[in-house]
Amino acid sequence: MSTDTSFITRSHEENWLPVLELAVEEVFEIMLGCRVKPVAQSEHKPNGEYTAMIGLAGALCGILTVCCSAKTAGHIAKKMLGDTATSAEEVGDALGEICNMIAGNFKNKLAGTDERCMLSVPTVISGEEYSFHSMADGNSVETVLLFEDAPVAVRLQLQS
Amino acid sequence: MNPDTAFAKPSLEENFLPILERATQEVFEIMLGCQVTCAAPSEHKLKGGLTAIVGLAGALCGVVTVCCAARTAGQIAKGMLGDTAESEGQAVDALGEMCNMIAGNFKNKLAGTDERCMLSVPSVISGAEYRFHSLVDGSSMETVVLFEDTPVAVRLQLKS
């Protein structure tokens, strides 16, 4: 998780995406002990029963979200906290912590932003029927990975 | 909306709550031209509807949320944008902007935090059935105002 990317030169979608993908892969490997790779978004749309979000403020302003099904969120909680982690609170906390770590790892990779970009606290939304709207109007990048054969979508939406 | 409160002094719920209430009242007055008074949260319980969220990062770390019924958000949009504002998207944008302004006004009232506390971009959740919780372990305070006889709940949750 070292700083290896210049913030100044990273300003376009095609530059942000590999950094986000690497940040996601590292967090899944460290926290969940599994290697994940990005898959085609069009073929793998997660059932968004759970959405964890965290705000970025300062040099980078926007939000990062992690979206997956309730079943997948449950698997993530069990991997992180053990097989007894079955409560809704534990599942939400686990997904929120993954979101927090991905955002932190992502910003740490952008040299120069670490001190000028700060994170708020994670918030986790769950339910059968909800919509999530961000008012960020700038670049948006998304990567989808498979965790135990189920899709997890990680999206970064930035304010222009 | 002048900074009028020392940041070092208000550190407990009893100190932050009056500031949050005042920040809320001022935004309703400026943006919607109406004077609202604060009511006890227990008297007005909200279910579903729309929830706008803005993250705070830096010297103050947490989230500000504004929650109301979909119909109330529509009334807020009409108050801000005019009677032609009837779409769900406009209601979402209007509530997100109200949340952003309340959070900004609140932090501006805490002298010394303005440069050390930053806001992320607003996000809005809508739907008939959803739950959300923030992973904050510090103070939490809420005020409820009545806008056109319907409750609007404003909550500040801070990381300890």
Q: B3 at the A interface (CB within 8 A)?
A: no
Whether the pLDDT of residue B24 is over 90: the answer is yes
Return the residue in B56, B121, B126 with the most chain A beta carbons within 10 A, the one to mutate for interface testing.
Answer: B121
pTM (2 decimals)? 0.88
Contact by Cβ (8 Å): B62, A120: yes
pLDDT of residue A113: 64
To the nearest whole Å, the CA of B38 is away from the closest chain A CA by 26
Residue A154's pLDDT band (cuts 50, 70, 90): very high
**What is the predicted ipTM?**
0.86
Return the residue in B120, B125, B139 with the most chain A beta carbons within 10 A, the one to mutate for interface testing.
Answer: B120
Tens digits of residue pLDDT in B106-128: 999 987 666 788 999 999 999 98
pLDDT of residue B43: 63
Domain enclosing residue B87, as ranges: 5-158
Whether the pLDDT of residue A108 is over 70: the answer is yes
Q: How many domains does chain B have?
A: 1
Are the Cβ atoms of B62 and A159 closer than 8 angstroms?
Answer: no
pLDDT of residue B48: 64
Return the residue in A66, A123, A139 with the most chain B beta carbons within 10 A, the one to mutate for interface testing.
Answer: A123
pLDDT of residue B110: 85
> When comparing pLDDT for B64 and A5, which is higher?
B64
Whether domain A5-158 has CATH 3.40.1550.10 = yes
> When comparing pLDDT for A133 and A48, which is higher?
A133
pLDDT of residue B8: 44
CA distances from B3 to A78, A100, B110 (A): 47, 31, 6
Q: What is the DSSP letter of A138?
A: S
CATH of the domain at B130: 3.40.1550.10
**Average confidence (pLDDT) over A105-121:** 84
Chain B partners within 8 Å of A48 (Cβ): none
**Cβ-based contacts under 8 A for chains A and B:** 124
To the nearest whole Å, the CA of A24 is away from the closest chain B CA by 20
Residue B13's pLDDT band (cuts 50, 70, 90): low
Whether the pLDDT of residue A106 is over 80: the answer is yes
- Domain segments of chain A: what residues? 5-158
Q: Taking all residues of chain A, what is their mean pLDDT, rounded to a whole number?
A: 88
The amino acid that residue A26 corresponds to is: E
Select from B96, B118, B125 the Cβ nearest to the Cβ of A135: B96
To the nearest whole Å, the CA of A47 is away from the closest chain B CA by 14
**Average confidence (pLDDT) over A70-85:** 94
